[in-house]
A and B are shown apart, each in its own frame.
Chain A
Amino acid sequence: MATRAAPPRPVRIVLAKVGLDGHDRGVKVVARALRDAGYEVIYTGLRQTPAMVVDAALQEDAQAIGLSLHSGAHMTLIPAVLEELRRRQATDILVFAGGIIPDEDIAELKRMGVAEIFTPGAPLQGIVEWLRERFPEVES
């Protein structure tokens, strides 16, 4: 075990499935990849409301929220999460998303404040590297 004086500072990320969408294979694979990259992943499970996701992120002191959507309701649910973050004065929490999201919606969601969107086929390493750039202080 390495000796070090500075405490470890794992980045904490809430991963959530919002709305009526039971397709959780993808989010679980991402959760595992992030764990293996040294992140602390708080997985909230299925059928979360935007308010529940934001509440979990606040209670867990998470630096980022990752949303997984395969239901087609992303133009309703993702903006609702952003709105809830504004309402709770927590817009410093980074929001990223993954799932089946068409290109034209991606541009619109990014304009609204989503930091990045990963579509099917995105390599796991790409997600990890993107997070590393956003959170250079993570130890892993």
Chain B
Amino acid sequence: MPERDLAAEFRAGNVRGLARAITLVERRDPAVRRLLAELGQPRPPVVGFTGAPGTGKSTLVDALIRHWRALGRKVAVIAVDPNSPYSGGAILGDRIRMQGHALDPGVYIRSMGARGHLGGLSLATREAVRLLGAFGFDEVVLETVGVGQSELEVAAVADTTVVVMAPGLGDGVQMIKAGILEIADVLVVNKADLAGAQRAAQELRTMLNLAPRTEWKPPIVMTVALSGEGMDELEQALARHRHYLEGSGEGRRRMQARLREEAADLVGQWAREAALRLLEADGELGRLADESPYVAAEQILSRLGTGGERAEARA
């Protein structure tokens, strides 16, 4: 790959520079850290959207982008789709439902595969969010399919997590099973014009009433994303949650928890890389691991602790 002056491309507002930088994030290329140090790291607010496939997340996000654009805000979307567990390949199709903003320079959409991120998806998305902020985006949306654990990783990055549901995709038991109610700051029942929407909302309300009382009670918003119905209510709910985060100190607490989590994630990632290098380079260590991975791991940790490997781990 040719060396590019990404910082200059950022300052010139060249989208290709931003796109390449996010690729570097996905590849865990240390050049990104130098770039962010040079650009500063403003962190725009992040709204996460998650829910089962086909609930209308992308269409909702499309409608939300329209609202923000009308206010003159620049919006970036990171849309995460699953990768094939067998080939590692992916079909990333979220752009299809976000065509309303094609060629609008104030909107950037980036598709990401959920797997294959060393150090986890949240590490990659956190850095991507910083890059988007440095590029000048005011709002960031993080969209992910709620089929596994990736939505939990994303909730760890978002300031406000919106869980999207649609009627006909299972009853309330599915919702507590998925554990997804615990991460929701705002609940959306989309496709509210379909039969069963009121019942889905009622079941959600029941579930929420059973949940432990907290200061913030997730509102349930009914929407029809295709027609734009309920979008005002959704935007108000998002604004109220942002206001709550700021007023209650919860935003600060979450931010602090996130940064500490990120520091721990980075240690995990760097240590893993260094350990793999050590195991490759040191035959004796490798044989030790063949016998007992635990013993080998302890030895690796103690060697990392002396600092000799630390510089290498960061390289």
Which residues of A come within 8 Å of B, CB atoms?
Answer: 3-5, 7-10, 12, 31-32, 34-45, 49, 51-52, 55-56, 58-61, 88, 90, 139-140
Contacts and interface: CB of A to CB of B under 8 A. Distances in A.
Contacts of A44: 95-96
Given A5-B277, A43-B96, A35 B90 contact: yes
Contact of B118 (A7, A51, A58, A59): A7
B276 interface: yes
Nearest to B107: A59
A59 B15 CA distance: 6
Residue from A36, A51, A139 whose CB has the most chain B CB atoms within 10 Å: A36
Given A40-B113, A60-B111, A5 B91 contact: no
Contacts, number: 98
B88 A139 contact: yes
B27 A9 contact: yes
B89 A5 contact: no
B89 A140 contact: yes
Contacts of A49: 102
B28 interface: yes
Lowest 7 CB-CB distances: which A-B pairs, in order? A45-B96, A61-B19, A35-B89, A5-B276, A52-B102, A8-B116, A7-B27
Contact of B90 (A4, A40, A51, A139): A40
Interface string B81-92: 001101111111
Contact of A51 (B89, B103, B108): B103
B261 interface: no
Contact of B276 (A4, A52, A55): A4
Interface string B105-133: 00011110100101000000000000000
Contacts of B23: 12, 61
11 contacts: A7-B27, A10-B89, A38-B89, A40-B111, A41-B92, A42-B111, A43-B96, A45-B96, A55-B103, A60-B111, A61-B23
A42 B95 contact: yes
B103 A36 contact: no
A58 B277 contact: no
A45 B95 contact: yes
B93 A43 contact: yes
A111 B96 CA distance: 31
B189 interface: no
B90 A41 contact: yes
Interface string B57-83: 000000000000000000000000001
B13 to A, nearest CB: 13
A52 B101 CA distance: 10
B214 interface: no
Interface in B181-239: none
Contacts of A90: 16
B243 interface: no
A12 B111 CA distance: 10
Interface string B14-26: 0110011011001
B292 interface: no
A35 B110 contact: no
With a 10 A CB-CB cut-off, give which of A4, A34, A59 has the most chain B CB atoms: A59
A18 to B, nearest CB: 13
Nearest to A12: B23
